[in-house]
């Protein structure tokens, strides 16, 4: 029973450590994408001040950023 508790404790601490290494700021999106019907693909919106109300947008966050 003690081994089982230690196993889960080690897994929790390891995952918590890995999660703390990833610095993701979810308040600032990396990209805002809008659907382009002419090519049937998501295109980046370069001027975020011109977002149209009622239109659907995809907010994208980069999962892994290379440090360099």
In this structure, what token pair is assigned to residue 22? 């990833």
Phi, psi of 18 (to 5 degrees): -65, -40
Is pLDDT at 6 greater than 60 in this prediction? Answer: yes
Q: Please tell me the predicted confidence (pLDDT) of residue 31.
A: 86
Q: What is the pLDDT of residues 14-48, one digit of tens each?
A: 887 776 666 666 667 778 899 988 999 999 988 87
Is pLDDT at 49 greater than 80 in this prediction? Answer: yes
Q: Please tell me the predicted confidence (pLDDT) of residue 54.
A: 86
Q: Are strands 57-60 and 41-44 parallel, antiparallel or unpaired?
A: unpaired
Is pLDDT at 68 greater than 60 in this prediction? Answer: no
């Amino acid at each position: 029973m003690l081994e089982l508790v230690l196993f889960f404790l080690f897994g929790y601490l390891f995952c918590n450590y890995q999660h703390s290494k990833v610095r993701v700021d979810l308040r600032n999106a990396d990209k805002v994408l809008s659907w382009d019907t002419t090519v049937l693909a998501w295109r980046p919106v370069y001027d975020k001040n011109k977002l149209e109300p009622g239109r659907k947008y995809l907010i994208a966050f980069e999962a892994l950023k290379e440090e360099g």
